[in-house]
Chain A
Amino acid sequence: MQPVIELFGLSKMFGVGDATTVALDNVTLTIEKGEFVAIMGPSGSGKTSLMNVLGLLDTPTHGEYYLEGKAVADLSQRRRAKLRRDHIGMIFQNFNLLSRVNVVENVALPLTYKGGLRSKSLTNASKLLKTFGLNEREYYMPYQLSGGQLQRVAIARALVTKPAIILADEPTGNLDTKSSEIIMSELRDIHQQGNTIIMVTHNPDVAVYADRIIQMVDGTVASDSKHPAPTEKKKKRPLNTFKKALETAANANREFAEATADLLPPPPKTKAKRKAAAAARRKKIAAKTKRAKK
């Protein structure tokens, strides 16, 4: 299998001097063609930073990024925009459709920037919408659609240029459970057609659809586990191996929490203890104020 994405020692830092924040710390990663990768991790673990770098919206501070074998870290703005247009499809948590433009034109947007006949672009977009069962909504405006429909439109837009990778940042984050299921099965179908999908999510139920889970902590890859792509049947009863993968992810989370536990005051365990602690705090404050009065 041919790697679609290769990252070597990728770092991303924000700020300068003492205020520097490390968002990505020496990430080395290979993603093969046709993989469905879920990136998980707590807030601030660098998931979104990684997505931004992968989506060529951001440049890494250090390290190399090969997209389909080509180094892209130091390309010009113009070349990056073209790569975004032709090789990367992006799906966002809040759909990010243009509100003043109808559905089919939203889908055709990347083709618009590619150039070529407008009628052809719209026909392509229209065909794609049909596969998502949205052909009757072609000329609706975004505000006339439900969240699930909007996200399907966004997926259609991501697919319209037949990109090498699809990046999905919390694709179900704004959706109810039912819509989430629909969106995830759409993504699974797309994956089964041979597309590479990289998805950021918090939700283990969503991560189930992926065949590889990368757990990120503090800007580094904490764990990376693969399991065979679940089929329709297996999805309902996840494989033991996949359960294990999820457990490792959960463990990593816990390990992280334990490692950083001494940095935070230990949370009181029971209600009674919390009350006692609160009373103690109040006493302390009262004592202090008395002393101050004296």
Chain B
Amino acid sequence: MRWLVDFKIALTNLKATKVRTALTILGIVIGVASVTMVFALGEGAKNMVRGQVESLGENMLTVRPGKATRDAAGNVTSYNFLAALSASTLTEHDLKTVKNSPGIHQAAPLMLVTGSVSNSDHKVAQGTIVATTPDAKDVLNLGVRVGEFITPNSPRGTVVLGDDLAVALLGSDTVIGQKILLRGQEFTVSGVLKDFTNSASVSNVFDLNHVAFIQMDDGKGFNQGIAQIQQINARSKDGATPSQVAGGVFSALLGNHGGEEDFSVLRADETVQLTDSVFKILTSFTSAVAGISIIVGGVGIMNIMLVSVTERTREIGIRKAVGATNQQILSQFLIESLMMSIVGGVVGVVFGYALAYLGGTFLGFLPGITFGIVGIALGVSLLVGLLFGAWPAIKAARKDPIEALRYFQ
């Protein structure tokens, strides 16, 4: 009951100094809004990464050249990106080894072929030539819009185009039997893939909507007969534990490579772990900056409350003279600072989400809304009000009533 009275007193006093109160609240709003925005965008990035893992499928294994460093718990901490620039260490023999490893259902190589993609009029389009085997269709979950994917019976010189590439080259995504040029050689389109919404998911290297899939033999033909495999994707059998299968693949390949760990075997979650960790670092850094702005807002509250306590010294004296205890004075001033910080917190959360949606449209993903973020933002603003309101409130409560009654402004 008394809280309600304190609440009313606080409201009266805050209303009496509207501009001051509004500016103080603004400080908290800015702080809370920036924290909310950073967290919401961080959550959105996390959701995006999680979506990628889900689209990959839990049972996807990726073999890449270059060693991945792991911590004691087995989590990937860094990955030797330089390996991607040098000649790949993966061979067709490795592909066979992977296929024959226990628990592996299917495996497909990805061989990047450097070269231009153009139509018969020599109009060049942006595209990536990738040589692979027919298994890639199942391993990479490729949907085919028209025609068919590369089959074991496909004649040499067959190409399957990504949706966007087909449109760019031939003006339509239903073009079967038309001719295009890869590195100047003529290829016949046998199929066009479905549009991928999350095209970065499979490889992290190239865009599936701009890919031209050819057979391994054609790929080797462009590369002096050598299979230069950049990546092997594999699916473990249903019911097999991905980490166990990955361990098996790893030791089998280690044998192939003579004990030299110049490759890495990544599970589905590990392929996105690096992206995830980059986002995490980014989020924690920006939230630290946002946190500072909350503290600045808190200092604003403290400042204004100290002014308020001094201005109202006489009022404190009167209240004490008619029987207010120190605690009652304390709670009155604390409630005032809490009201400012909570109002600032609520407005800040709303503002923060508005900003996050605005930022999300530029970044290409939606911010995540969770009770956790709202809880943290409101909790932090409450804490700020309590922490920075405490000293002024204690100062008010400890005022000597006689001195306070004698105070003149």
Which A residues are CB-close (under 8 A) to B321?
Answer: 55, 57, 84, 90, 92, 96
B12 at the interface (CB under 8 A from A): yes
User: Could you tell me if A85 and B318 are in contact, using CB atoms closer than 8 angstroms?
Assistant: no
A294–B62 alpha-carbon span in the complex (Å): 112
Show 19 A/B contacts (Cβ-Cβ < 8 Å), sorted by A. A57-B401, A57-B402, A57-B405, A78-B325, A81-B328, A82-B323, A84-B321, A84-B322, A85-B323, A85-B324, A90-B322, A100-B13, A100-B16, A101-B12, A110-B322, A113-B323, A114-B323, A115-B2, A118-B4
A82 in contact with B1 (CB, 8 Å): no
For the complex of A and B, list the 6 residue pairs with the smallest distance between their C-beta atoms, beginning with the closest: A85-B323, A81-B325, A84-B323, A110-B322, A57-B401, A96-B318
Which residues of B are found within 8 Å of A161, using beta-carbon distances?
A: 323
A81-B13 in contact (CB<8A): no
Count CB-based A-B contacts (< 8 Å): 71
Complex Cα distance A78/B321, Å? 12
A113 adjacent to B1 (CB under 8 Å): no
Which of A58, A100, A109, A112 touches B12 (beta carbons < 8 Å)? A100
What string of 1s and 0s marks CB contacts (under 8 Å) between A78-95 and chain B? 100110111000101000
Interfacial chain A residues near B325, Cβ < 8 Å: 77-78, 81-82, 113
Question: Could you say which residues of chain B place their CB within 8 Å of the CB of A112?
Answer: 2, 5
- B1 engages A115 (CB within 8 Å): yes
CA distance A110 to B325 in the complex (A): 11
Does any Cβ of A come within 8 Å of B319's Cβ?
A: yes
Once the chains bind, are A58 and B322 in contact (CB under 8 Å)? Answer: no
Given contacts A85-B322, A109-B322, A115-B1, contact A78 B327 (CB under 8 A): yes
Question: Count of chain B residues with Cβ under 8 Å from any Cβ of A?
Answer: 24
- Assess whether A184 is interfacial by the CB under 8 Å rule: no
Q: Interface of chain B, helix or strand or loop or mixed?
A: helix
A98 proximal to B (CB < 8 A): yes
A residues lining the B interface (CB < 8 Å): 52, 55, 57-58, 77-78, 81-82, 84-86, 90, 92, 96-101, 109-110, 112-118, 157, 161
Chain B residue, CB-CB nearest to A112: B5
- In the assembled complex, which residues on chain A have CB atoms less than 8 Å from the CB atom of B326? 77-78, 81
Contacts of A57 in B (CB 8 A): 320-321, 401-402, 405
With most chain A CB atoms within 10 A of its CB, the pick from B1, B319, B322 is B322
In the assembled complex, B315 has its CB within 8 A of some CB on chain A: yes
| A81 vs B326: C-alpha distance when bound (angstroms) | 8
Known: A57-B401, A57-B402, A101-B12. A157 touches B1 (CB 8 A): no
What is the CA–CA distance of A58 and B328 in the complex, to the nearest angstrom? 19
Cα A70 to Cα B7 in complex, Å, equals 35
A114's nearest neighbour on chain B, judged by CB, is B323
Query: In the complex, what's the smallest C-beta–C-beta distance from B15 to chain A, in angstroms?
Result: 9
| Residues of A close to B5: CB separation below 8 A | 112, 118
Q: Which residue of A lies closest to B15 (CB)?
A: A100
A78-B326, A81-B326 are contacts. A52–B402 as well, Cβ < 8 Å? yes
In the complex, residue of chain A having the shortest beta-carbon distance to the beta carbon of B322: A110
Residues of B within 8 A of A116 (CB): 1
The residue of chain A having its C-beta at the shortest distance from the C-beta of B1 within the complex is: A115
Contact A117 B1 (CB under 8 A): yes
Chain B residues with Cβ below 8 Å from A78 are 325-327
Bound CA–CA A98/B315 (angstroms): 6
Partner of B328, one of A52, A96, A113, A117: A113
Chain A residues near B405: list those with CB within 8 A: 57, 92, 96
List A contacts of B2 (CB < 8 A): 112, 115
**Which residues from chain B contact A82 at a C-beta distance below 8 Å?**
323, 325
Q: Which residues of A contact B318 (CB under 8 A)?
A: 96-98, 109
Most interface-central of B4, B16, B327, B405 (chain A CB within 10 A): B405
